[in-house]
């Protein structure tokens, strides 16, 4: 069964959002989803690049001002 995990990276600047994403990705099962949000929009691109190189895919990505949201699936 697919689980959905939430990761709030508000108040964090790089590299912390990527590091937290990496840690969570390593602890979940294939097929699980991570919903990542934060308020430092540069982190969104860094997270996207990281997950695409590490057995995951971005299902959805939104930015509005400095806020971002990504939905990531572990492969």
**Residue ranges covered by each domain of the chain:** 4-74
| CA distances (Å), origin 40, targets 10, 29, 36, 37 | 7, 27, 12, 9
Confidence of residue 60 (pLDDT cuts 50, 70, 90): very high
Reduced to 3 states (helix: H, G, I; strand: E, B; else coil), residue 15 is coil
Active-site annotation, residues: 14
Q: How much is the pLDDT for 21?
A: 98
Question: pTM score, two decimals?
Answer: 0.94
Could you tell me which CATH number the domain at 4-74 has? 3.30.110.40
Give dist(CA 54, CA 41) in Å, integer. 21
Mean residue pLDDT of the chain comes to: 97
Residues in the chain: 75
Instruction: Return the closest-CA partner of residue 69 out of 25, 32, 61.
Output: 61
Give dist(CA 36, CA 24) in Å, integer. 11
């Amino acid at each position: 069964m697919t689980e959905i995990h939430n990761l709030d990276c508000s108040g964090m600047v790089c590299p912390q959002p990527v590091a937290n994403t990496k840690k969570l990705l390593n602890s979940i099962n294939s097929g699980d989803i991570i919903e990542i949000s934060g308020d430092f929009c540069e982190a969104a691109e860094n997270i996207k690049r990281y997950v695409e190189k590490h057995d995951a895919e971005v299902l959805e990505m939104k930015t509005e001002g400095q806020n971002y949201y990504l939905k990531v699936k572990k492969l």
